[in-house]
Amino acid sequence: MEFYLPRKLKFKAWNKDTKLLMRLDALPCVKGQLSLRNHIFLQFTGLLDKQQEEIYEMDVVLRNAEKYLVQWNVNYTGWCLTHYESNVVLEQLTPQNAVELRRVCSYFESR
């Protein structure tokens, strides 16, 4: 399988109790399902912003002065930029537009 290059899956988790964003070293997995009580898993998109920061699901990013939210979209079957205020999906997140973005924080940290 020389044609197959596995991706590295990374996650962070929002702890609902402590209200802290944590990097995870290990994840409990039961029958193929990730589970950690009182946590919301946030997956790495595989992309970096213009400052070489990792972009994760539910990150708040800036392009010019506009705020966007990074979310998985089932219609696009991929990561998308959603307008922060209106929650309207504007475009897919790609390597080309990721370098125009600056990661600000996680959505959960901004509330």
Task: Give 68's contacts (C-beta < 8 A, 6+ positions apart).
Answer: 60, 61, 62, 81, 82, 83, 84, 90, 101
The 10s digit of each residue's pLDDT in 13-25 is 999 999 999 888 7
pLDDT band at 4 (very low <50, low <70, confident <90, very high): confident
Inside any domain, residue 58: yes
User: Which own/partner pairs from 86-95 qualify as long-range (CB within 8 Å, at least 24 positions apart)?
Assistant: 93/45, 93/47, 93/55, 94/47, 95/47
Residues 48, 76 contacting (CB under 8 angstroms): no
User: Which residues form the domain of 77?
Assistant: 11-110
**CATH number for position 27:** 2.30.30.290
Beta bridge mates, 105? 60
Report the predicted TM-score, pTM, of the whole model to 2 decimal places: 0.89
Q: How many domains does the chain have?
A: 1
